[in-house]
Structure 1
Amino acid sequence: MQAELNQTTLKRPELLAPAGNWECAKAAVENGADAIYFGLEKFNARMRAENFTEADLPELMEFLRDRGVKGYVTLNTLVFPQELREAERYLRSIITAGVDAVIVQDIGICRLIRHLSPDFPIHASTQMTITSEVGVEFAEELGCNLVVLARECSLPEINKIQNRMQYRGATLPLEVFVHGALCVAYSGQCLTSEALGGRSANRGECAQACRMPYELIVDGESVDLGDKRYLLSPQDLAGLSVLPELVQAGVSCLKIEGRLKAPEYVANVTRVYREALNRLMRELDEQKEPEKPFLSPEDTSNSPVSNPSPEEIYNLEMAFSRGIYTGWFRGINNQELVHARFGKKRGVYLGDVKGIRNEEVTLKLAAPLKAGDGIVFDCGHPEMKEEGGRVYGVQRKGKEVIITFGKGNINWQRVHVGDKLWKTSDPELDKQIRQSYAGENPQFQRPIDIEVHGEVGKNLVTVTRDEVGYLVLVESEILLEEAHTKPLTTEKLQEQFGRLGNTPFRLGNLVNHLQGNVILPVSELNRIRREIVTKLAAERAKNRLWKLKQNVSLQDLFSFDSHNYKYHRLLDKKSPNLIVLVRNLKQLQAVLDSDVNTIYCEFEDIHKYREAVEMVKVKRKINSSDSPILEIFIAPPRITKPGENWILQQIQLHGADGYLIRNYDQLKFFGNDRCVGDFSLNVANALTADYFKNKFGLERVTASYDLNISQLKDLITSSPPDWYEVTIHQHMPMFHMEHCVFCAFLSDGTDFTNCGRPCEKHEVKLREFRFGSEHILQADVGCRNTVFNATAQTGAEYVQKLINLGLRSFRIEFVNETPEDVAQTIQKYQQLLRGEITGSQLWKELKLQNQLGVTRGTNREIMTKGSG
């Protein structure tokens, strides 16, 4: 039954390619992209790309419309309070330019777009960390028209999301990344660049710390992993082999990563996927015949692209490759996702060096090589200078080849037997690729379907449709006559209407509805063809006219008078409240021995929450009747995927006072309980805060860790201060990953089913090679890993300013601190909140890094200059 449903509803997904500049846009269009996505000068997650400008939009969209290609703008970063009005102006320009959609991370910006325009399409970015059907529903309620799922979603999970959405009558299209670089951390949940260098990934400034080498420290000792140093650097995603399953799952759009890549990369990868997708759709159409059952999600044996051809793999690896892999599509395999040998582009593997003699290298080739190709010798130390260059000659010697190089091009003292040889450049392929988008005339032609109607004594009428959905009708100026010889046949019509030359079109299907034997001069058929092209081009050139409200403002969206909070600070007489998050029972006991009233618990073992709640209840009985009520909130895992509600159900059984909400599933699941929104909801402006606070009834929301002190002040003064909680002491949670380092490097297992649970037996840290910092690694109940910054950071020096602004909820977090450290730290912060010591005194006494979430500057500047 499911197969029959898929047969009738099967659609070809849109192929979406990246464009960091004009040349990349042309490369994508000329190689078959159905749509491109690109950033403007601000608010996009690839600020290092060349990007387009607002002034480019009219010309760019005209070019795309002429070619039948859609254009999506990436506005996929968090937007700070003082930037909202600029973002509004930006959005008005984007909507007016007729852009086909905007890709958005910030929830407040989604609200703003829908406020400005009731019909302009919003695509929920992968930065929104949507991993379940509940997340899709959240996006739909927000006004989104499409959801880009987190890269960590497997094929079974994608199918579950689709099936549950269909069961509930939801129809929101889903988009997935199908090729390109894989972030090791969940997009929207990576704070590594922010923590180490003040360059926020949520602001488009990722410094790619995941591609750096790390040393594995287990129970205080360094583990010898051989040449494996790049412990957090995944191979690149290549979903070519799972295209059948993605099509069957009903995925609406396949996205290629790479707005920082060269046009050759864009052209190469787009063409490979275009051709594979077209081939797949033809075969799937044939499989609709009764004797050819449709592919099941588990069976790809009949698929034309289940096993990509050597040529396709070669092209993808030469485009850009750190090794290519199916990512999380086929589930979790921690042994294969990260090979850990290098974190940069390699290309095609050629083989291991067998011998070196007289400046000649002998090896058995694993891939084609010719004179002029570029190579690099890999001795297992990619962080060092590597030898390589252009090949001068390739001479066959039995099953092996001898490779020679230009005199003096290689330092042979640095090349060794056993080194791996990689092909990094193929000038011949590059030339071929560049030719695919060279010149002014269209090279990739998209099909148009033509129906021809007519009979003797009447006009010939053509009805033409393109893939985008445009339709034009063209009639002959001469009446059809009866043909005594050589009547108009389907073949004759195909020949004349197929002469589309230097146009963006090629003839697809032609259906001949002519009645009787009729004839029309060839000159008139040619005129009709030219008019079809002209009219279709004119239809495409029309600007999309989205509805745009003129007499609306940001203020209309708020459920409060923001000016009241900006110019009249709350004179709240309540004392500041210190909230403490602990990660084990010993830390909890240390907190209970202090006079803290609000405790958050985040444990790897969810069964320990029962004991934690009992410990709090016992303490309540001991407290005097006039003491503030002691409260315990449980912090569920940051990610919830299909099938993981059992974790939330188990947590709810323990009877906590409330919950620290990390994601959209938890918003819904704990909807009838007391809840506080955590930093992972990415609250960076009052529009977002207002949505969570008032739509979902959260008691408070935690301000985004991307805000520096100035931006945090803007947030608090633009909305009620009692909405917010600010974390003033923590080891920044940097990477939050589906990838399990414990499993990958301390076991032979692939996932939690066979890893032996080393996370329960060992204390593990990741030591940076550059600075020697030992970052703390912890697993959660879902086996996801978090890397916490080695150095705790404090915003103590800003606490009094925040109190003066009306803020009353301050959080401190612990990771692996001893109970003694916990007690001492709590005591110092209580003194700070009571005004008994200054922030500078606290900073000096605890010897902490003085930082409160900056967005600019280097690690050294942060450590020496405080807030930057």
Structure 2
Amino acid sequence: MNSKIISERPELLAPAGSMEAFFAAVDAGADAVYTGLKEFSARAKAKNFNLKEIEQITHYMQQRGKKLYIALNTLVKENELSLLIDTLGALEEIGVDALILQDLAVWKLAKDHFPGLELHASTQMTIHNAAGVKMLERMGFTRGVLAREMTLDEIAAIRKQTTLELEQFIHGALCFSYSGQCYFSSFLSGKSGNRGRCAQPCRRNHRYRQQEGYYFSPNDLSAIDLLPELEKAGICSLKIEGRMKSAEYVHKVVSAYRQVLDAPEKQRKTVLQEAKLLLKESFGRQPTKGFLSGGQPSDMAIPAHKGATGRFLGEITRVRGGEITFKTKEALHLGTRLRVQPAIDKSGTAFTVRQLMLGKKTVNKVTANSLVSVPSPFNNVFKAGDTVFMVSSPSAFTMSDSACRRKLSNVRPPAETVDLQVDVNPQQLQLTATIGTEKQQFQYPVDSFPATQQSLDQAILRQAFKATAGDPFILGKLECGELPEIVIPPKQLKQIRRDLYAALGQKQQQQKQQLRTEHLQSARSALFPLATGRAGKQQIRVQLRDSRDQRILQDPIVDQILIPLTGQNLQHANKLQRRSRQVIWDIPFVIFDKDWLDTRNAIRQLAQMGYSNFRLNNLGHFIIFDKMEGMKLYSSFRLFSLNSQAIAALAELGISEAELYIEDDRKNLADILRHQLPIPTAMTAYASVALLTSRVKIKNVRSDNPVLSDRDDAFRVQQRQGLTWLTSETDFSFIANIPEFENSGCHNFIIDLSHLGPFSQEGKQVLDAVKRGYDPQGCSKFNYESGLE
């Protein structure tokens, strides 16, 4: 075990989606900040940063002994690989402290071609057990951001089995679904959460049996009470969510956690209460500890609570043009920012309070429970019954964008230490400069004269060469041989120093440029050429829920079946042995450590029975197959093949066939398939995909009736395998597009009938559609035709 990881105090890691939020985080005491670029960021709606700004804030942090992490944590399309390569090259040259990533293409390209980049695995990779963490360690990651569904006991158990740094979210917005496994926004609008464009349909109002509620809208995580337990469990980085949040939010939340982390043990209780008051002023949602405390949290998703941020003040009772009147639950001041939320489920409208009226009297502030009128700049927008939230206070952290940029304008890269060996004779001064492991020699002629008083000595040389103002260097050791009794004019030594540091700087810049060019050329040469042959035999696989439906293999159109690895299906494994080559066992993507040994043993038992085909859904699955010969491993869409480099990464990890990504669109799929890929591909051509997969149980909602959105989209909620699954009542189908896939070079197709059963009337209709080449009536095309954002 790496004792350093355990013994050091945890890092407090803050979000920054804007320049103002960045300085708010630093001012409040963050040890490290994570942010995103304008491309490849899972918070695409945040302001984010360009590369020049990243360079400036990186140097700003490094000068203060702090760290900056860049979130490149979205899935990358095929035509974005070139830009990704340029971005990786630039970030390596800048010297950012780490990348946070989801797409295996980023992992492969960085690992193979940009070795100066440290890699952190995003929570989007759904790492939730020791096997997943060990796999990250094997892949060269230095840190894993664990799934937000973990309990403290589960984290502590993982800590005992790895030396990898572990990071955990401790505060901010939660997703109802496992991160990286949500297709809700994408299915309804084409705006993918895995591409940083989530439209948050989970926050909308839904109906079940005429009972309305916010069933999928979780409260905000707040683990400030659990900091000692998190540290004891082995978390090295405490992460605050909020790249979409204001500078005020970031400042108050980071300040609160900083106070508690730094508080002496005897004062912690008092400081904790003060910090909670500060958190209350951050205008988040109702707090929950989530799963950290263990068990099923009753306060994580409360249907009666609207998922809006801010503090609820009241409902509008009267509207006159742009003026609203309501009874406020809390005191109000001029300068407070309000958001008015319509009674119907639409976006709210925010404005800053410029005038307050009690009756006909204008005031600067009102007390709680006052009936107050507030003019707004919006005429005829609001209605009686709309709710009013306070989202910012007059005491907000205020540092303008221009002030932030002025503060960064003079930032320079941290100075590098130069060790000097000085050798002198009356005609020449020879310098050997060492930076890190790199040595360079320089010779300079000197006009010396014999010393009559103070001769040249080591102190004079050190004084001459330590003055490095304006240069990106600082003098470290200075050693010299025997010095002659001479004097070199100070002006000449000063000029030699200037020339030396200028030459070192130029040489370093040339080396950096050369290294970047080599790395970029290496990465670009790794991209796949266009394919030539596209021949192949069509394979149809039917995905089942129950292994007893295996007789579907008697249908001539069906080549293989996919069977979930469940206890019930394992009981019938012996009946399938004679057809073992036609069976692919589908491993559940969530396997907590308490179930790990049983799953591994079941797979080994299946291998002994002659089964060799397994479908992997999570990075933690790879370790199961260590030292198992003759296995054929398939990747599912949950391992994110949105580009050819991700497919190459999966091939490197041992995958024999990669399933293409179900969220994808026609153009990107064609872009991938026109390349010469290292392994064959497959595509799910028909399914009812789980839009959300969650550890949160929803009380009093069953699968007997659909859940309806305010737009009448229909969904089913099911509880199975200890998880909650939300599926659309509308299946998606690419069956009619199978010829397109085949022409592009994909010949393996999955028909998922696990929700219908292959022998039900609906299941038979789908199989008939496969035989005839059409899409069943009423199906969605997902993003295939409309496009994936």
If the TM-score is normalised by the length of the shorter chain, which range does it land in? 0.7 to 0.9
Aligned residues of 1:342 and 1:382 also touching (Cα < 8 A): no
- 2:187 corresponds to 1:195: yes
1:208 to 200, 215, 232: 200
2:634 to 676, 680, 686: 676
Query: Residues 807 and 252 from structure 1, CA distance in 2 versus in 1: closer, same or farther, beyond 3 angstroms?
Result: same
Give the C-alpha shift of residue 107 in structure 1: 1.5
Q: What amino acid sits opposite 1:693 in the alignment? A: A
Aligned residues of 2:283 and 2:391 also touching (Cα < 8 A): no
Q: What amino acid sits opposite 1:848 in the alignment? A: C
> Which residue of structure 2 aligns with residue 181 of structure 1?
173
The residue correspondences of 1:563-602 to structure 2 (distance < 5 A) are 563=529, 566-572=530-536, 575-584=537-546, 592=554, 595-602=557-564
Single out whichever of 77-86 and 591-600 deviates more from structure 2.
591-600
> Which residue of structure 1 aligns with residue 293 of structure 2?
330
> Which residue of structure 1 aligns with residue 651 of structure 2?
693
Q: What amino acid sits opposite 1:715 in the alignment? A: I
Query: Residues 433 and 807 from structure 1, CA distance in 2 versus in 1: closer, same or farther, beyond 3 angstroms?
Result: closer
Query: Residues 423 and 21 from structure 1, CA distance in 2 versus in 1: closer, same or farther, beyond 3 angstroms?
Result: closer
Q: What amino acid sits opposite 1:141 in the alignment? A: R
2:718 to 763, 778, 782: 778
Give the C-alpha shift of residue 7 in structure 1: 12
- 2:110 corresponds to 1:159: no
2:668 to 673, 695, 711: 711
The residue correspondences of 1:288-367 to structure 2 (distance < 5 A) are 304=268, 308-309=272-273, 311-348=274-311
Query: Residues 429 and 785 from structure 1, CA distance in 2 versus in 1: closer, same or farther, beyond 3 angstroms?
Result: same
Unpaired stretches in structure 1, ≥5 consecutive residues: 166-170, 217-221, 284-301, 443-474, 478-541, 621-628, 747-758, 833-841, 859-868
Query: Residues 439 and 725 from structure 1, CA distance in 2 versus in 1: closer, same or farther, beyond 3 angstroms?
Result: closer
Aligned residues of 2:186 and 2:788 also touching (Cα < 8 A): no
CA-to-aligned-CA distance 1:606-652 (integer Å, 9 cap, x gap): 3320455456458x5xxxxxxxx762223232212221215515753
Give the C-alpha shift of residue 407 in structure 1: 7.7
- Partners in 1 of 2:599 and 2:524 — Cα distance? 32
2:528 to 553, 562, 569: 562
> Which residue of structure 2 aligns with residue 752 of structure 1?
none
The residue correspondences of 1:350-389 to structure 2 (distance < 5 A) are none
1:273 to 257, 260, 263: 257
1:405 to 332, 347, 372: 372
- Partners in 1 of 2:252 and 2:118 — Cα distance? 29
> Which residue of structure 1 aligns with residue 219 of structure 2?
235
> Which residue of structure 2 aligns with residue 130 of structure 1?
127
- 2:18 corresponds to 1:26: no
1:90 to 63, 87, 92: 87
Aligned residues of 2:11 and 2:31 also touching (Cα < 8 A): yes
> Which residue of structure 1 aligns with residue 321 of structure 2?
none
Aligned residues of 1:240 and 1:305 also touching (Cα < 8 A): no
Query: Residues 582 and 567 from structure 1, CA distance in 2 versus in 1: closer, same or farther, beyond 3 angstroms?
Result: closer
Query: Residues 608 and 239 from structure 1, CA distance in 2 versus in 1: closer, same or farther, beyond 3 angstroms?
Result: same
2:595 to 613, 634, 644: 644
Q: What amino acid sits opposite 1:608 in the alignment? A: Q
- Partners in 2 of 1:726 and 1:140 — Cα distance? 30
Aligned residues of 1:659 and 1:670 also touching (Cα < 8 A): no
Partner SS state of residue 259, structure 1 = coil
Q: What amino acid sits opposite 2:781 in the alignment? A: N
TM norm structure 2? 0.75
- Partners in 1 of 2:335 and 2:18 — Cα distance? 29
- Partners in 2 of 1:121 and 1:387 — Cα distance? 40
- 2:757 corresponds to 1:821: no
Single out whichever of 648-657 and 236-245 deviates more from structure 2.
648-657
- 2:396 corresponds to 1:430: yes
Partner SS state of residue 542, structure 2 = strand
2:246 to 250, 258, 262: 262
Give the C-alpha shift of residue 705 in structure 1: 2.0
Unpaired stretches in structure 2, ≥5 consecutive residues: 318-323, 362-366, 409-457, 461-507
Query: Residues 6 and 670 from structure 1, CA distance in 2 versus in 1: closer, same or farther, beyond 3 angstroms?
Result: closer
The residue correspondences of 1:496-535 to structure 2 (distance < 5 A) are none
Query: Residues 801 and 857 from structure 1, CA distance in 2 versus in 1: closer, same or farther, beyond 3 angstroms?
Result: closer
- Partners in 1 of 2:397 and 2:189 — Cα distance? 39
TM norm structure 1? 0.68
Partner SS state of residue 147, structure 2 = coil
Give the C-alpha shift of residue 153 in structure 1: 1.1
- Partners in 1 of 2:397 and 2:653 — Cα distance? 56
Give the C-alpha shift of residue 426 in structure 1: 5.6
- Partners in 1 of 2:270 and 2:158 — Cα distance? 23
Give the C-alpha shift of residue 20 in structure 1: 1.2
- Partners in 1 of 2:43 and 2:405 — Cα distance? 28
1:795 to 734, 749, 760: 734
The percentage of aligned residue pairs carrying the same residue is: 24
Give the C-alpha shift of residue 790 in structure 1: 2.0
The residue correspondences of 1:113-128 to structure 2 (distance < 5 A) are 113-128=110-125
CA-to-aligned-CA distance 1:387-427 (integer Å, 9 cap, x gap): 998865699xxxx964131388899x9879xx9x9761563
Q: What amino acid sits opposite 2:18 in the alignment? A: N
Aligned residues of 1:392 and 1:405 also touching (Cα < 8 A): yes
- 2:33 corresponds to 1:73: no
Single out whichever of 140-149 and 368-377 deviates more from structure 2.
368-377
- Partners in 1 of 2:347 and 2:101 — Cα distance? 39
Q: What amino acid sits opposite 2:726 in the alignment? A: V
- 2:598 corresponds to 1:635: no
Partner SS state of residue 15, structure 1 = strand
> Which residue of structure 1 aligns with residue 518 of structure 2?
551
Q: What amino acid sits opposite 1:59 in the alignment? A: Q
Aligned residues of 1:25 and 1:36 also touching (Cα < 8 A): yes
Query: Residues 766 and 306 from structure 1, CA distance in 2 versus in 1: closer, same or farther, beyond 3 angstroms?
Result: farther
> Which residue of structure 2 aligns with residue 140 of structure 1?
137
CA-to-aligned-CA distance 1:413-466 (integer Å, 9 cap, x gap): 9879xx9x976156343268999x989789xxxxxxxxxxxxxxxxxxxxxxxx
Aligned residues of 1:660 and 1:675 also touching (Cα < 8 A): yes
Give the C-alpha shift of residue 378 in structure 1: 9.2
Q: What amino acid sits opposite 1:430 in the alignment? A: A
> Which residue of structure 1 aligns with residue 471 of structure 2?
none
Single out whichever of 334-343 and 323-332 deviates more from structure 2.
334-343
- Partners in 1 of 2:374 and 2:390 — Cα distance? 20
Partner SS state of residue 115, structure 1 = helix
Partner SS state of residue 184, structure 1 = coil
Question: CA-atom RMSD, angstroms?
Answer: 4.2
Q: What amino acid sits opposite 1:640 in the alignment? A: I
Give the C-alpha shift of residue 89 in structure 1: 1.0
Single out whichever of 316-325 and 263-272 deviates more from structure 2.
316-325
Aligned residues of 2:159 and 2:233 also touching (Cα < 8 A): yes
- Partners in 2 of 1:176 and 1:547 — Cα distance? 38
- Partners in 2 of 1:7 and 1:124 — Cα distance? 20
Q: What amino acid sits opposite 1:331 in the alignment? A: G
Aligned residues of 2:641 and 2:661 also touching (Cα < 8 A): yes
CA-to-aligned-CA distance 1:754-791 (integer Å, 9 cap, x gap): xxxxx6xx535321121x1211223332x112212221
- Partners in 2 of 1:666 and 1:63 — Cα distance? 41
